[in-house]
A and B are shown apart, each in its own frame.
Chain A
Amino acid sequence: MNPYIGVAVLCLMAGTLFMLPLVPALVELRRKSDALPLTVVQQHTGEIRFFADGFRTYLKALGPTLQRCVQSGETAAGAMPDGTEYVVFGRGDQALLLPLKEREEGCEVMIAAGTELLLPAETTFSKDIYAAGGLIGGAKNRYRAILAEHDVHLGNGSSVMRWVHAVGNFSANPGCKLYGRISSDRIIRLSPDCSFLRLNAPRIEVGGTTDVPATPPETESLPASVATNLPRTLHDGDLEIPAGEVFHGNLVVRGRLHIGSGARICGSVKSEKSMVLQPCVSVEGSLISARNMHIGRDCRIHGPVIAEQTIHFESGTCCGTSESPTTVSAPRIEIEPGVVVLGTLWAREQGRVVAGA
C-alpha cells in the first residue's frame, strides 16, 4: 500500500473516532432541544396550603351546582371541564348511601358537599373531597385529599395519601396514617398510634386534650428571633449543664450535650452529637442537633427544633408560642401524648405518636 494513503487512512480513522462522540453534541447544539434554564421555583414558597388553595380555585366552577343542591337537598353528578367526574351532595349524610359496589372498589369520583359531610367506613376515596361544612369520616377509610370549611374528623385507622386542610379543627382517631400535608387554621389533634409527616396549625396537640400543657406565659422569654443575636460560646467535647442552671447566650457543643432538669438557656443551643434535655428545661432560642435529640417531660422551647436524625418528645413539652409559632423538624420524630407544637411539625421520613414511658 502507498504509505501516503496509509497515513491518510490512519488520520481519517483517528479523526472519525475523535469526532464520533461529538456528533450527538453537535446535534444538540444545533437543535437546542434541552437548552432552557433549569426550573427554579420562583413563586411557590412551599406553603403547606398550596394544594388546598389550588383545589379551592379549581372548585369555583362547581359553585352554582353546590348552591342548587343545598337548596334542593338533592344530589347532582357530572364532569368538570378537565373531565374529572364529580358528585355533589345537597345533604351531608347522602354520602353514607354510596352504592355498596363503589364502597368496595373505591369511590373514584370527586365528592363535594354543600353542608357537613358524613362518609361511610372502609372506603377508598381516590379523588379529592370538598365539604362546605365539616367532615366526619368512618373508620379505616383511605383518602386522597380533603378540603373542609369547618372541622375534619377522621375515624380509627384511616389514612390520607396527599393532603388535608381544615379551616376549623382537624382530629385523627387512633391508628391514622397521615402520609401527606395536614393543615388547619385552628387546631390539629392527633390520637395515640397515629403516624404523620407534615403538620401545620396554630396549635398541634398530641394525645388527649386533658394531658396537653397550657401554652407557657410569653412574657418570660425573649423572642426567638433575638436569640440569633446573642454572643456564642463554643465548647469542644461533651458538656453537661447542671440542673437548675441558667445559661445566657448561644451555645455550640462539638460533642454530646446533656441539659439537667429545670435548666434555662437564654439563647440557642447546638450540639454536633446527641442532645438530651432532662424534664422542665427551658430554651428561649432554637435547639439544633446534628444527630439525635431526646426532650424530657414539661420542657419549653421557643425557637425551631431541628435534629438531623431523630427527635423523641416526652409528654408535657411545648414548642413555640402563639405569638411566635415555630418549626419542629427531623427525619424521624417520636412524640408521646401530651405534647403541644405551635406551628409546624415536620417528619421527613416518619413521625409517630408513641405510648409514654
Chain B
Amino acid sequence: MIYVLYVIVSIICIYTVRHYWFTLNRLFGFQRHPYIDIDTADWPPVTVLVAAHNEEKVIANILSALMTVKYPEDKMLIVPVNDRSTDRTREIIDSFVERFPGRIQPFHRVTGKGGKAAALKDAMEMVGTEVILIFDADYIPGAGLIKQLVAPFFDPEVGGVMGRVVPMNCGTNLLTRLLDLERSGGYQVDQQARMNLRLVPQHGGTVAGVRLSALKEIGGWNDNTLTEDTDLTYRLLLHGWKTVYQNRSECYEEVPETWQVRIKQIMRWAKGHNQAMVAYGLHLLLGKHRASLRERIDGTLLLGVYIMAPVTMLGWILALAVFYQGVAPLHGVVAILSVTAYAAIGNLAAFFEIAAAVRLDGSRKRACLLPFLLLGFTVSIFSVTRAAFAQVKDALIGAEFHWDKTERFRKAAS
C-alpha cells in the first residue's frame, strides 16, 4: 500500500513541476508567435465549419460576425453544420443564406449518429479547400481572426491550429468567474507555454483549424469519441503533423452558468480525454512514430490530466489508511522537509499558474477570487472521478457513449 502511495505522490510531484515550468516559462521565457505577423499573403481558400445543434439562441451572432471578417470573400465559404436541430436553427441559417447569396452553404443534417465529430464527418462532403476552420455556434470571431488562424497553414508542417478562447459571460456568477480564471490559466499559460517549449499544444475543436490533407492522412474525424479535438491532436502528432497555438487569436465564447451544466461538460471532457489516453497513450510514449522525446513526455502527461483526479483521490484514501495503520512513510528531517516543501509550494502550483495568467492578461482584482478555485477544484475532482468510474462501468457492460450538448444561456438574437 505504501509503495502505491509513493507512486501516486511521485506522479503528483511531476505534475506540480510541470505547472511551475509552464508558468515560469510564460513569465520569463522566450515567447513563440511565429505566424502572427503574416498580414500580407496570397490567402488560400478556406471553409469555415460552424457546428450547430439546437443553437437558435446563438447561431445568428456567429453568422453575422463571419459576414464582417476581413478575408477575401471569394476565398471563404461558410458551412453551418446544422446537426439534427429541432428548434429554429435551420430557419435562421436559411435566412442568412438568402441575405448573403453565395457566401453560406448550409449542411442540414436530419439523421445519423449524434455528436459533433459525426456531424463534422458528414459535412466533409461540402469541403473542397485545403484549410478548414471550425467554430462552435456560441463563438463570436473578430474581424482579423480568420486570417490569423489561416496564417500558420503556410507552414507545411502545421496540421492543426488552435486560437484562444475568452469567456464573454464571465461576470454572471461565481461559476462563470471561476471558469474565466480557469480558461486564463489554461490558454494564457498552459497552451502558450507548450507552444513556446515545442511540446503538444492541444487542438480545442473550436476557434481552430485543420489541414484537409492531414485530416485525410489520419483517417478523418473520429466519431467514436466524445472529444474529437483531443483525438485529433494525438492522431496529428503521431503522423508527424504539428498543432500550433496562437495566443493572440482570441475569440469570445459562452461558458456554462450553472453547476449542473458545468459538471456535464467536464464529465464529457474527462471521458473523451480518457478514451484518447487508452487509445494513444502507450503508443505515444513508446511507439515508433515521428513525435520528439519532449512531445512524447508532454503528450503523455497531457493525456493523463483527467485520470489524475481519481488517482489523487486514491492517494488521499491511501494516505489516511497509512496514517491509521501507523505506518511512517518517511522519517525524520526528510519527512519534515518534504512535507513542508510540498505544503508550501506544491499545493499552490495550479493557483500560481492561474495567478500568473491573470497577471499576464493585465487583470488585477479578479485575482482576488483565486481562493474560490478550491470550490471549482473540489467539484471537478469529484465529477471527473465519477466520469472515470462511469466510463469503466460502461466499458464493462458494453454501453454506447452518449454525447451531451452544452446548454446555452444567451438570449436569442432578434
Contacts and interface: CB of A to CB of B under 8 A. Distances in A.
Contacts of B369: 25, 28-29
B262 interface: no
A40 B153 contact: no
Contacts of A343: 40-41
A270 B40 contact: no
B156 A285 contact: yes
B121 interface: no
Contacts of B170: 35-38
Contacts of B366: 28, 34-35
A48 interface: yes
B34 A40 contact: no
Given A45-B147, A234-B240, A270 B157 contact: yes
A139 interface: no
Interface stretch (A109-117, A144-152, A322-330): A322-330
Interface in A220-275: 223-226, 228-232, 234, 236, 250-252, 267-270, 272
A41 B363 contact: no
Given A28-B369, A225-B42, A234-B240, A36 B155 contact: no
Interface string A315-355: 00000100111110100000000000001101010000000
A200 B156 contact: no
A37 B166 contact: yes
Interface stretch (A6-14, A95-103, A300-308): A300-308
Which DSSP category, helix, strand, loop or mixed, fits chain A's interface? Answer: loop
A27 interface: yes
Given A34-B364, A308-B32, A327-B40, A43 B171 contact: no
A40 B37 contact: no
B250 A28 contact: no
Interface in B349-400: 361, 363-366, 368-372
A43 B142 contact: yes
A197 to B, nearest CB: 11
B287 interface: no
Interface in B19-47: 32, 34-35, 37-45
A231 B130 CA distance: 11
B251 interface: yes
A270 B177 contact: no
A349 to B, nearest CB: 11
Contacts of A224: 41-42, 154
A286 B155 contact: yes
A42 interface: yes
Given A21-B371, A327-B40, A225 B174 contact: no
A272 B180 CA distance: 35
Which bracket fits the contact residues of B?
35 or more
A44 interface: yes
Contacts of A54: none
A3 interface: no
A48 to B, nearest CB: 7
B40 A45 contact: no
B290 interface: yes
B213 A231 contact: yes
B35 A306 contact: yes
B96 interface: no
B38 A45 contact: no
A323 B38 CA distance: 17
Nearest to B45: A225
Contacts of A228: 44, 130-131, 153-154, 156, 211
A303 B39 CA distance: 12
B294 interface: no
A15 interface: no
A270 B372 contact: no
B365 A40 contact: no
Contacts of A34: 363-366
Nearest to A326: B41
Contact of B156 (A33, A250, A302): A250
A303 B42 contact: yes
A270 B156 contact: yes
A324 B361 CA distance: 36
B102 interface: no
Interface in B248-269: 250-252
A229 B130 contact: yes
A234 B290 contact: yes
Contact of A43 (B45, B75, B143): B143
Given A28-B365, A326-B41, A46 B144 contact: yes
A63 to B, nearest CB: 29
Contacts of B147: 45
Residue of A35, A48, A251 ringed by the most chain B CB atoms within 10 A: A35
Nearest to B140: A42
B88 interface: no
B167 interface: yes
Contacts of B156: 228, 230, 232, 250-252, 267-270, 285-286, 288
Which among B131, B142, B151, B174 has the highest number of chain A CB atoms within 10 Å?
A: B142
B218 interface: no
Nearest to A236: B290
Nearest to A348: B37
B167 to A, nearest CB: 6
B368 A327 contact: no
Nearest to B373: A25
B113 interface: no
Nearest to B372: A25
A35 B365 CA distance: 9
B168 interface: yes
Interface string B141-166: 01110010001011111000000001
B70 interface: yes
A40 B240 contact: no
A80 interface: no
Nearest to A37: B168
Contacts of A79: none
28 contacts: A22-B371, A24-B368, A25-B368, A25-B370, A27-B368, A28-B368, A29-B174, A34-B363, A35-B171, A37-B167, A37-B171, A38-B250, A41-B144, A48-B39, A223-B42, A225-B44, A229-B130, A232-B156, A251-B156, A286-B155, A288-B34, A288-B154, A304-B151, A304-B154, A326-B41, A329-B37, A344-B40, A346-B37
Q: What 9 A-B pairs have minimum CB-CB distances, sorted nearest first?
A: A35-B171, A45-B144, A34-B365, A250-B156, A324-B42, A343-B40, A225-B44, A329-B37, A42-B142
Interface of A: 21-22, 24-25, 27-29, 32-38, 40-48, 200, 223-226, 228-232, 234, 236, 250-252, 267-270, 272, 285-286, 288, 290, 302-304, 306, 308, 320, 323-327, 329, 343-344, 346, 348
Given A40-B166, A228-B130, A236-B290, 4 more contacts: A29-B372, A44-B143, A268-B155, A329-B38
